[in-house]
Structure 1
Amino acid sequence: MWTVFVAEFQEERLVSRCAGVMTGASVPAEPAYRLLGPLEVAAGPAGPRVVPPGRQQTVLATLLLAANRVVGIDQLIDAIWYDNPPVTARTQVQICVSGLRTTLAGLGPDGGPAIVTQSPGYLLRLAEGQLDVAVFTALVDEADTLSAAGELDAAALALQRALALWRGPALSGTTSRTLQTRASQLDEKRLNAIEAHVDLQLRRGRHHQVITEVGALVDQHPLRERLRGQLMLALYRSGRQAEALEVYRSGRELLIDQLGLEPGDELRALESAILAGDSRLHLGTESAQSPPRLPEPEIGPYQLPGDIGDFTGHADLLDRAERMLSAQARPDQRAVRVLVLVGKPGAGKSVFAVHLAHRLREAHFPDGQLYADLGGTRTEPVTPADVLGRFLRALGIPGSALPDGVDERAEMFRSLLAHKKVLVVLDDAQSENHLRLLMPGSPTCAVLVTSRARLTGLPGAQVSDVDVLAPEESLSLLTKVVGAERVDAEPAAAQALVRLVGGLPLALRIVAARLAARPRWSLAWMLERLADERRRLDELAHGEMMVRASLALSYDGLPPDARKLLALLSGPAEGSFPIWVAAAVLDADPFDAADLLELLVDVQLLEIVAIDLDGSPRYKFHDIIRLYAREQAERNEPEAERRAALERVGAGWLALAEEAHRRIYGGDYTVLHGNGARRKPAQSYVDQVLADPGGWLDAERANLRDAVGQLADAGMHEQAWDLAVSLVALYETRCYFEDWELTHRRALAAAQAAGNRRGAAALVCSLGSLHLSRSRPGAAELVESALTVFTELGDREGQALAGRNLALLDLAAGAGAAAMDRLRQAGEDFRAARDPIGQAHVLALQAQLAWDGGAEEQALAQLREALAMCQGIGARRVEVQVRYRLSWMMGKRGEIEQARDLLTGLLDVVRETGDLEGEARILHRLGSMNARLGAGGTAIRLLRKAVLVRELMLDGDGAAQVRAELEAVAERFGLTVDDGELPEVPRPGRSGPGTPLPSRRSP
């Protein structure tokens, strides 16, 4: 039904939206202040400036309606409270004005203040074209002048431009009596303009086209005689005399019934003329058949917000997006090009989209650019009907001609854009359904969408992620805003600021804006203010830019169980985490938890950063989002529930750490355990991720370290120490000595504070082992203090572990007899504790003492017994250590080739398991043996590799020892240390899966 309107208005587009002239003055694409509809204040790509409803809107509207004139405080009081003001009325008005000054900052002429104080009240400074009411009035006046001069087409265009400013009833939503009166006056002016426009259409011979429009208007305003007369005339000129007379009769009946009045003189005269077939009612032939036409405008609607002068980063994405959207439509192409930009809150999607649109507009979309903020993250998003109404007005359709139905509006929109090169930018879309009616139908058009959801259900759409800025891009943006001089003066602080905001553009812009606003602040002072996590979100606010508010839009739109998960995860999930952590947090089924995690990913509050060892996704917070989620947890989740969630997650890590230890040692051997809660994930998951215990440690290293600290800080001391000591075998094999010490120190402080003697003793004993393995002083004191507690508590496993470590210290000091006594007691304690691997350790050490004492056969027998124990249990790691000792003894007996062959077989095992310590020792020994056998080149190759492995382990002393032997071998054979091919050293999976290493307590 709307094709006739489309045909008409295609020739009368709103040229003024881009470069129109209003009495010689430039008319902005969108006036900054809008009263012709709900009150709005618009400014830039960030969208409208929000003016709180109620008193502030009443004050602003009153000042705007008297723009550039002083409005007394008493007038403002009357507008707000009418005849019943409170005693604090003047103070409340002052507070309102203060708030408005902040909201309107920079909107005054030349960027100055918008509101100034001037006795006896306030004055709102307004530049020409900033207020839609003023623009509307000027355009109506211009139309009157043009019409009087006979320039009917130009007059019609001016009225179209005027009516396109209306978004609904003037000041809709206001409760002020004073403003309601002014709004009614404005609405009347709108109707007058509509009637004037219809008159022009009739004078231009377009009576066929206006019938539907005017008929709808008569239904809405049945008592307006001018509209009724216009409808009668249009029908008569279209050959529908009977219908024209029926319109008159129905109007007459309505007037008599409701008002007791007859129609006016003009309407009665028109009826008489129609009845008489008066020829004066017809237009001349030339006017009726060939109405003057305006030339097709060269420039279409231009609604894009202003570009960002300091736009930074995303160069590759910009190039890809530009190629995709600017591609010329092929003859066989039928679909419109659609690009969806997704990203987390504050990632700069809108800024990116506007910048991209400006790059594309002139060369690729000369027929216009349409822009709409859909408000998808707000409580009530903008409806497709409202958006289409705005687009149609921008394309030249008067508000009075807009269809009521959204489907009809969409139909008209597609018709208007047929074969046109128009770019449509839809910012902050909520869902696919939010967009479907807003899609053009022509492949010559393109659509650019931003959303926090991926919108993969939108047919034909390509989805691209707007990620956070890279460190160098972040530094570049900071430099552009703050200035190179300040950044160059404090490079370390600048780098730290960039790291602290994690490349989030909104957060970075806030930091930069605050520094720019305070030129005497140092970057180091800003850094110090941001360093406290509890204050960071408070600091990340400047004017209307607020990280917290941006995140709240996404968080508030979540269902309750997703909000709960996000909040509770913020405590235990500091790094990337697997699905079972979310299940533990909610005490829920893993598949249910996974569904909620994916929902959080969809709205960009979590991201998938890796694939877990079982093939499932791993998730992660952006640091700033995690801080916001933690705020919500503290505000909305009871402390008992937060503690329970942390305890369940800790129980999961403890169960996995224990199982990893068992797979290395064949059981719960050579380790102490407490009574902390356990929560084992699904067995299928455990079997997959712990097929390689060392690789699991590499993947979860940060999480395990954090878990110990979180449990300790929460006072869950039993779980904390239990988890820490359960990780020792993994830390030792992977050479994560810093983690070993850090976790133990954190857990020890908690255990001691709680009076947990056994837990504290276990940690102290383990720290003694660390000091021993790293040749640090103080090991003996630590182990002896632990032994004292274990003895008092009657803990045989603890006594055995402490005794064995003290024996190692005696061996290092050359006190063989004392070491033998301690080993004998440790062996008895291990037997009492039913720990065969502990016994195997003791037997291996006793074998070494026997060998040193000349009892070679006894030593070999003890090693064979230890080997049998390890093989019976499946403790492969300890088996490698025992076989290594056996090879060493064979070499001492002169059985060099047999010892070398045994070591070569062991090298395959340690390489397979990623055992760096074992590989370093075996490579060193193999190099020495090959040198003794005369294979100099092979010896050099093996020794060089041993040096590299030691360096990888950060073992400088060990590397120096091997390097000295390498140089001696090279000199002996007349070679250089670089001779021989050097295979690549396999590194453990510090960024992925890996395998365990042997203890340094054996040679």
Structure 2
Amino acid sequence: MSPLAFRVLGPLQVHGPDGPLRLPPGRQEVILAALLLEVNRVVSTNHLVDLIWEDNPPETARTQVQICVSRLRKLLAGADGEVSITTRPPGYVLHTDAANVDAALFTDLVLRARRLREKGELDWAVRLLRGAVTLWQGDCLPGLDSGPLANKARQLNEERLTAVELRIQLELELGRYDGLVGELQRLTHEHPLREKLRGQLIQALYWSGRQAEALEAFRTARRFLAEELGLEPSRELRELESAILAGRLPAPTGAVPVPAVVRVPEEKASPEEPARPAVVESAEDTETTTAPSAESVRQDAVPHQLPAAVADFVSDAGQLAALEEALTGRPGRTTVGLAAITGKPGTGKSTLAVHVAHMLSETGFPDGQLYCDLRGTTGTPATPEEVLGRFLRALGIPGQLIPESLDERAEMYRTRLASRRVLVVLDDAAGEGQVLPLLPGSRGCAVLVTGRARLTALPGAHRVELDVLAEDRALELLSRIIGRERVAGEAAAAEALVRTVGRLPLALRIVAARLAARPHWTLASMVQRLANERHRLDELTHGEMTMRASLSLTYEGLAPEDRRLLRLLSMAQAPTLPSWLAGALLDDRRPFPSDLMEPLVDVQMLDVAGVERTGGFRYRFHEIIRVYAREQLAAHHTPEERQEALARMAGGWMHLAQQAHRKVYGGDFTVLHGDAPRWEPPDSYTDEVLADPLAWLDAEQASLCGMVEHTADAGLHDLSWDLATSLVTLFEVRGHYDLWEQTHLSALAAVRKAGNLRGTAAIRASLGSLYMSRNQFDTARQALNSALDVFQALDEPMGEALCRRDMALIARSSGDDTSALELYRRSLADFDRAGDVVGRAIVLTQSAHIRMRQGEIAAAQSQLDEALDIYEGVGYTGGRARTLRRVGQLLLEQGRSDLAVLTFTEVLELCRDSGDVIGEGHLLRDLGHAFVIMGRPDRARDFYDRAVTAREGVMDFSGGALARLDLARLLDAEPGRSRELLVPAVEVFRERRMGRELAEAERLLATGC
């Protein structure tokens, strides 16, 4: 059973065996965060109350905390994690292994690092501190609405910076100056007031031989402090400057300057053993010119086969240290040192390998360095026999003595290296089978392998997977090639340039080389040349460096079906790609479509971006690889083939969106669908990924909206309108009105162009709902009337029902109850004709509100009871919540205020649990009304205030204006506050043509003034 993992060092997250757990926003998040920050320790209930309400908790505060804790227990228990929340006076304890909470793990790692420092084990302390800082994913707990919790988060943020400063100090003491400069420049830019970081930057620059830059760093600090704070630098910074000027700056404690060249003394002969013979330089120096014997083989041949290192290499100190340890050996190691560097094309695998090999050549491997390009990404990879032949000749074995068979060559190779310390660099390996015969047997030797495949079957290998450069390192590389002054002069363009090439080292080297060769070019002009995706790869070439050639090596090495998938995947415009897309694009219905993706991951043409709740993986392209794949798509597929693949991909999204709607509503209710074919992912995948359909719609929002526009642009109009209207399930609940309009206008253009009358009417009807939700009633009427005319002509009862239902709601909002009831009557008949029971329940609930206003309490109650029965039958929680809200209003009408408050509170929790932000705003206002009726204006004021915040927080300004008007009625004794509320409300009422509300707001404003 996998434990739950909790993250507070960044956004609050809980990860379980099946992926991330969705946490209800608000109080439960605050309580869980507080318990995690004190994991395995008691957190008092009073403290939790203070975290949520601070100075003004309600009477039911402790009860509400208990409810939240109870829900958290259910959430965590349902995830099968080894975690529990227990009641222990005076509060609660969250029990779990502290290692499962990133904040506790961070604190433990920092504490252990400090202890190691005290023992003098600086290198291990650095490793622990690096590990501690990598736990962070941003600022601690951003966005949680709790002042006291924010103070604790700020404290942890400070501890993070302190840990970074400590780690840098230790690395300075270890003499790792060069590798720290770029990082310190970034940190001082991000945290300009931390003088310790500035002092460390000055030391790193000075001890890297950059005295002038060190002094300039001090002057920069002095100017900043004077201009921003009116202060002089600290005594420590001033002493650093004085020491530099005097040439007496001591090296940080523990640092040992590394000599330029370290010579290993020659091994002396023992008394029993003669000295080594001189090197035989040619056949003429031997006793005979016939074929050499085994005794005449040169025993002291020292190969130096490494290619030249790159002068402008940008290092990662931690990465280099880990590779050095893996290759040179830990104490007591009994096997050959082995490290594998992998990564996608252009990430600098060979550059790093050669740099490390040169770095270790003198001190770590004095008996030589062997190097071979294994040509793994070419059509003719080197065979192990071929490589062993080359290596044996380099080790002094004459060609005539090299055996033919692989096994015999490997035995001779291992024997030759048995007593030596040799580093073997195997560049561009195709796979483990090519590498295994080339491994020495001696623990004194080491092997460094690079490859695009992950080489996971190499026994005991330390693995480094290169990715794109961090932005600061990318800018550092650019600066080293074209000059710091040029980069500083166009800082914004430099940042845009590294982003445009995706921070890929090879691509960045190419553009930098082009700029270096053309000093009259600006960086901005290079960004502009790269902006056109169709020609980007044409620009990424200089001399023999070309990004297209690098990618082609890997692409051509793929199996034909893998190449086809790579090409088709480039059509997807989603930020990440679910595994089922591979099945849809290839029309392959295997149960585990991720198997189709994995060959592309193995050679790093695709990256794994995350794990879904199903356990399946999500993938993504590096931008330049996607551009290359699109080039290949255009070259190998006809427009018809591309259109067919796109239709299958869109059909898959449509199927999942339709199933999500069904799970929310209990069936295909209150929605129209088109006739475009669906592509169905495996049933097991669909069931698991849609276990929480709204959460899935939320998570895939960008992909789904992008697909609406993609299909519209491609002329797949039936899919475009169908998907757009299906997404209203999400837009309506979450209040995504802008996305609602954006997707629908794209689909509308497509259906109009295609002459698709039914699709046009469906989109117009849905837009009518949107405009009505915004209180743009005139625009809504126009859209609904035009849609209704088409639906009547097509005899489409579902369409007619939807239009009349929304037109009734407009009439009701305008005070025309008679017209509203007639429209509801006809809508009810339409829904019955379409066989839509949920549509019927919605009409019953909405028309019951009018019955209430007209005093027909029994009729209203009967309609609400029928609606509740329908919702219970199909399992539509959202509909049940809306009907229960009307039940609460009915209870108010009957004078049963206490029961009404309980009902509203229950519905409010339902809305929060489902993420229904619009419903939450309605319920807060209802509770305000209830407390006004109960004669408790202070409580009413609190709920109205929260209603204003909730409605305006989702850009629902008309709803916010109504709550402002409610609040202003209670504040007649506070004219200043009333005016503050009413002035923006008047503007909204005037803009939305809400006549009755505008008149009352203006009256109150005049009275208050």
TM range (shorter): 0.5 to 0.7
SS of the residue aligned with 2:370? strand
Residue number in structure 2 paired with 1:527: 527
Aligned-partner Cα distance in 1 for 2:504–2:710: 26
Structure 1 residues 310 and 698, CA gap change in structure 2 (3 angstroms): farther
Q: Deviations 1:750-802 (Å, cap 9, x if unpaired)?
A: 21111111111211221222222234573332222222222222222212212
For the aligned residue pairs, the C-alpha RMSD in angstroms reads 3.3
- The amino acid across from 1:864 in the alignment is D
Structure 1 residues 207 and 491, CA gap change in structure 2 (3 angstroms): closer
Aligned-partner Cα distance in 2 for 1:392–1:595: 41
TM-score by length of 1: 0.64
Structure 1 residues 851 and 463, CA gap change in structure 2 (3 angstroms): same
Structure 1 residues 347 and 838, CA gap change in structure 2 (3 angstroms): same
Q: Is the 8 A contact 2:501 2:507 kept in 1?
A: yes
Q: Is the 8 A contact 2:694 2:730 kept in 1?
A: yes
TM-score by length of 2: 0.64
Q: Deviations 1:463-491 (Å, cap 9, x if unpaired)?
A: 33111223333333334334444444444
Q: CA deviation at 1:620?
A: 2.1
Aligned pair count? 699
Match of 2:305 among 284, 303, 306: 303
1:390 aligns with 2:390: yes
Q: How does 1:632-781 map to 2 (within 5 A)?
A: 632-776=632-776, 778-781=779-782
Aligned-partner Cα distance in 1 for 2:617–2:437: 35
- The amino acid across from 2:576 in the alignment is S
Aligned-partner Cα distance in 1 for 2:938–2:432: 68
1:375 aligns with 2:375: yes
Residue number in structure 2 paired with 1:327: 329
- The amino acid across from 1:390 in the alignment is R
Aligned-partner Cα distance in 1 for 2:935–2:373: 80
Q: How does 1:339-358 map to 2 (within 5 A)?
A: 339-358=339-358
Q: CA deviation at 1:941?
A: 7.9
SS of the residue aligned with 2:433? coil
Q: CA deviation at 1:931?
A: 7.8
Q: CA deviation at 1:398?
A: 4.3
Residue number in structure 2 paired with 1:177: none
Residue number in structure 2 paired with 1:42: none
If you compute each CA radius of gyration, which structure gives the higher value, 1 or 2?
Answer: 1
Q: CA deviation at 1:896?
A: 2.1
Q: Is the 8 A contact 1:306 1:354 kept in 2?
A: yes
Residue number in structure 1 paired with 2:470: 470
Q: CA deviation at 1:535?
A: 1.8
Residue number in structure 2 paired with 1:985: none
Aligned-partner Cα distance in 1 for 2:627–2:677: 28
Q: Is the 8 A contact 1:610 1:617 kept in 2?
A: yes
Q: CA deviation at 1:522?
A: 3.1
Residue number in structure 2 paired with 1:862: 863
Aligned-partner Cα distance in 2 for 1:948–1:370: 69
Q: Is the 8 A contact 1:337 1:445 kept in 2?
A: yes
Aligned-partner Cα distance in 1 for 2:422–2:942: 68
SS of the residue aligned with 1:590? coil
Aligned-partner Cα distance in 2 for 1:581–1:571: 11
Q: Deviations 1:937-956 (Å, cap 9, x if unpaired)?
A: 98788777666655663546
- The amino acid across from 2:355 in the alignment is H
Q: CA deviation at 1:725?
A: 1.0
User: Mean alpha-carbon deviation: is it higher for 856-865 or for 603-612?
Assistant: 856-865
Q: CA deviation at 1:560?
A: 1.5
Residue number in structure 1 paired with 2:436: 436
Structure 1 residues 480 and 785, CA gap change in structure 2 (3 angstroms): farther
SS of the residue aligned with 1:619? strand
Aligned-partner Cα distance in 1 for 2:353–2:945: 55
Q: Is the 8 A contact 1:786 1:802 kept in 2?
A: yes
Aligned-partner Cα distance in 2 for 1:764–1:517: 57
Residue number in structure 1 paired with 2:314: 312
Q: CA deviation at 1:523?
A: 3.0
User: Mean alpha-carbon deviation: is it higher for 602-611 or for 737-746?
Assistant: 737-746
Q: CA deviation at 1:435?
A: 0.8
Q: CA deviation at 1:692?
A: 0.7
Q: CA deviation at 1:207?
A: 8.2
SS of the residue aligned with 2:369? strand
Q: Is the 8 A contact 1:201 1:210 kept in 2?
A: no
Residue number in structure 2 paired with 1:914: 915
Q: CA deviation at 1:972?
A: 10
Structure 1 residues 327 and 825, CA gap change in structure 2 (3 angstroms): same
Structure 1 residues 209 and 478, CA gap change in structure 2 (3 angstroms): closer
Aligned-partner Cα distance in 2 for 1:585–1:569: 7
Residue number in structure 2 paired with 1:791: 792
Residue number in structure 2 paired with 1:119: none
Q: Could you say which structure has the greater relative contact order, defined with CA pairs below 8 angstroms and 6 or more residues apart?
A: 1
Q: CA deviation at 1:543?
A: 1.8
Q: Is the 8 A contact 2:428 2:450 kept in 1?
A: yes
Residue number in structure 2 paired with 1:516: 516
Q: Is the 8 A contact 2:929 2:940 kept in 1?
A: yes
SS of the residue aligned with 1:434? helix
Aligned-partner Cα distance in 2 for 1:821–1:369: 91
SS of the residue aligned with 1:565? helix
Structure 1 residues 376 and 784, CA gap change in structure 2 (3 angstroms): same
Structure 1 residues 739 and 542, CA gap change in structure 2 (3 angstroms): farther
Q: CA deviation at 1:437?
A: 1.8
Aligned-partner Cα distance in 2 for 1:554–1:417: 33
User: Mean alpha-carbon deviation: is it higher for 666-675 or for 394-403?
Assistant: 394-403
1:158 aligns with 2:158: no
- The amino acid across from 1:611 in the alignment is V
Structure 1 residues 472 and 853, CA gap change in structure 2 (3 angstroms): farther
Q: Is the 8 A contact 1:574 1:621 kept in 2?
A: no
Q: CA deviation at 1:197?
A: 4.5
Q: How does 1:514-663 map to 2 (within 5 A)?
A: 514-572=514-572, 574-591=574-591, 593-663=593-663
Q: Is the 8 A contact 1:582 1:590 kept in 2?
A: no
Structure 1 residues 441 and 577, CA gap change in structure 2 (3 angstroms): same
Q: How does 1:26-41 map to 2 (within 5 A)?
A: none
Aligned-partner Cα distance in 2 for 1:363–1:894: 90
Q: Is the 8 A contact 2:348 2:466 kept in 1?
A: yes
Aligned-partner Cα distance in 1 for 2:892–2:605: 61
Aligned-partner Cα distance in 1 for 2:899–2:327: 71
Unmatched tracts of structure 2, length 5 or more: 1-275, 978-1009
SS of the residue aligned with 1:618? strand
Q: How does 1:84-233 map to 2 (within 5 A)?
A: 157-159=280-282, 194=283, 196-199=284-287, 209=294
Aligned-partner Cα distance in 1 for 2:815–2:542: 68
Residue number in structure 1 paired with 2:500: 500
Q: CA deviation at 1:580?
A: 2.0
- The amino acid across from 1:323 in the alignment is E
Aligned-partner Cα distance in 2 for 1:153–1:337: 30
Q: Deviations 1:20-41 (Å, cap 9, x if unpaired)?
A: xxxxxxxxxxxxxxxxxxxxxx
User: Mean alpha-carbon deviation: is it higher for 333-342 or for 404-413?
Assistant: 404-413
- The amino acid across from 1:822 in the alignment is L
Q: Deviations 1:299-356 (Å, cap 9, x if unpaired)?
A: x4333323333333644433333333333341xx321121111111112111122223
Residue number in structure 2 paired with 1:812: 813
- The amino acid across from 1:515 in the alignment is L
Q: CA deviation at 1:592?
A: 6.7
Q: Is the 8 A contact 1:764 1:783 kept in 2?
A: yes
Aligned-partner Cα distance in 2 for 1:323–1:416: 24
Residue number in structure 1 paired with 2:121: none
Residue number in structure 2 paired with 1:253: none
Residue number in structure 1 paired with 2:207: none
Unmatched tracts of structure 1, length 5 or more: 1-151, 160-193, 214-292, 977-1003
Q: Deviations 1:346-373 (Å, cap 9, x if unpaired)?
A: 1211112222333333443333332221
SS of the residue aligned with 2:577? coil
Q: Deviations 1:725-770 (Å, cap 9, x if unpaired)?
A: 1111122223333332232222222211111111112112212222
Aligned-partner Cα distance in 2 for 1:815–1:931: 26
1:445 aligns with 2:445: yes
